[in-house]
Chain A
């Protein structure tokens, strides 16, 4: 123990021991025996294995890069742009794409590039908050139901089912009219409707893991329920949770755009991708770029998110992991 700093990562240790060899520099007899006992299996850490598998998933890798580029553009773009997001260029109103305004301008002369990037920023922000909140709520509720079982689980399960049959859009339309306005409140509303998808996944995983022998071992060691749930079981469920949270980003972007398009989402002048389409819907014939560009961004983001989710699923799936 003393020779191995505790901060040392498992990869370091593994890389030090060439697979297949009997290490000559092992310090104790026990280590020699242990080396003979088959430490010569090729070993890679989970992170390493996951990355290796993910890397081979071309589409997911490209999707991740595209998403990173888009996010950078959304964050840095408006800041670099010579135009403010509500600044009007009265000489170039309703213009199509030009050298000065690559995405064109809207009916009152605002630069659509800066507004699209800013809209993307808001849309993405909402989606990320939704994914985060949903995961948090869903994980806690799902974990409690799955772990404790019995009446608690029955209640959790019925609540999940109830939320899943609620027609989300109708509720959003009704409630959205009253409360929605700011990006944050929209995000909050979406999270309340979407948490059951995560909760259902987490509940299933907890049901399955609580019977595993390593959980029994933790119980036998005297660990209390919260420790077993969050220290022992939760890390094993990261894979599916991350995949589902990723996919939720796509769902949230589409739902937010739908709401904004219907006018009950984030209120103008705050731009979101949905708002931009709504504002330009009248010009679909005269100047299709004003609708197609934000629409294209929505499609690009959701596609990328789905590809990324697929890649993560393959990479994190424990069943494809050997021994």
Chain B
């Protein structure tokens, strides 16, 4: 199925850059009133620069409002960026005219999060998978034949093509979405939370499938997700986003072994681990406060309002994404050293941080004011 030459295995760092994003910005205007005057802006993506090398998997993690989904969609110009450039094999996607953009999109496909919303409910699966080919002028008979191959490549059978999406389980639908993305033999696939709507046991099937397909078709992935365990498993490098900015960017292993940004620390600390002994023995810090709104982000470092080690400077000065050691970037004025835990740093600063299972104020529930004891007793016996 693949026309590609078998590639010699090489370190991802030596491979050519496929996708190069420079200072990408997407602000959504907030309009109100009769004249739809602009009264504010949601700063969904605010100056993101990163690059993806051939056949690597770049993970993008972050919580809601961090801009990861907008970022993915802006790369394909499903959402028009406000400013910045996206170079695909050196060509500026943001400057491409409509016909050229269609050509470029052949090489950059997308898999969506919701396995129920991402397939047209009124279209048999064979048409859904054939659609990208038909749009790009593949003759109908040829497209139909390839649909069978594609469905087999994702672990379904060609006979399934005649059925409608509602006849499939969530995992199968996601396979169909992947088959559609593969139809044009793209170089890059942007996977937007592809497994987060699936049950754990099925999620693992799809992750394995994605890994197999990457090998078989020499694919480059951008894997957008909120689940750090999944991202770590599949990614070579990971970018952590917070409120439209990249907080940290490095290899998957280094991110987990020696995170430099306090937000990464907190995020890793917050993820529960499915291992009771580990879970009960580790010290987990609990971040205070809610996620700020991207329509009104904090000044300076956007994380300073929740950061346990923030200082005066963080409130005023936006930290640049700087390279700490080759290949490890973090946007923090006071980045943590490898091996240094955030709890140590907090203690050095003479501050306190909430740690799961200990500390914090003990909760004492005030007694129900007068008569309550009787009332309770009455309901209990009655």
Contact = CB atoms under 8 A, between A and B. Distances in A.
A179 to B, nearest CB: 37
Contact of A222 (B73, B128, B136): B136
Contacts of B157: 26-28, 30-31, 34
A221 B132 contact: yes
Interface in B290-310: none
A34 B160 contact: yes
Interface string B139-162: 000001101100110011111111
Contacts of A45: 164
A9 B163 CA distance: 9
Interface in B311-369: none
Interface string A156-184: 00000000000000000000000000000
Contacts of B78: 216, 219-220
Interface string A28-43: 1011011001110101
Interface residues of B, number: 52
Nearest to A232: B120
A31 B155 CA distance: 8
Contacts, number: 131
A47 B31 CA distance: 42
A138 to B, nearest CB: 20
Given A235-B123, A236-B122, A217 B110 contact: yes
A220 to B, nearest CB: 5
B282 interface: no
Given A28-B152, A37-B172, A223-B131, A216 B112 contact: yes
B102 to A, nearest CB: 4
A323 B158 CA distance: 22
A303 interface: no
A10 B105 contact: no
B29 interface: no
A30 B151 CA distance: 9
B135 A223 contact: yes
Contact of B132 (A3, A214, A222): A222
Interface size class of A (residues with CB under 8 A): 35 or more
B135 A222 contact: yes
A46 interface: yes
A13 B159 CA distance: 8
Nearest to B115: A213
Given A1-B158, A34-B157, A235 B122 contact: yes
27 contacts: A1-B161, A8-B162, A13-B159, A26-B159, A28-B158, A33-B155, A34-B156, A34-B160, A37-B169, A38-B169, A38-B171, A38-B172, A41-B169, A46-B122, A213-B112, A213-B113, A214-B117, A216-B110, A216-B112, A216-B118, A217-B118, A221-B131, A221-B132, A221-B184, A223-B135, A235-B123, A323-B166
Interface of B: 73, 76, 78, 102, 105-106, 108-110, 112-114, 117-124, 126, 128, 131-132, 135-136, 144-145, 147-148, 151-152, 155-164, 166-169, 171-172, 177, 180, 183-184
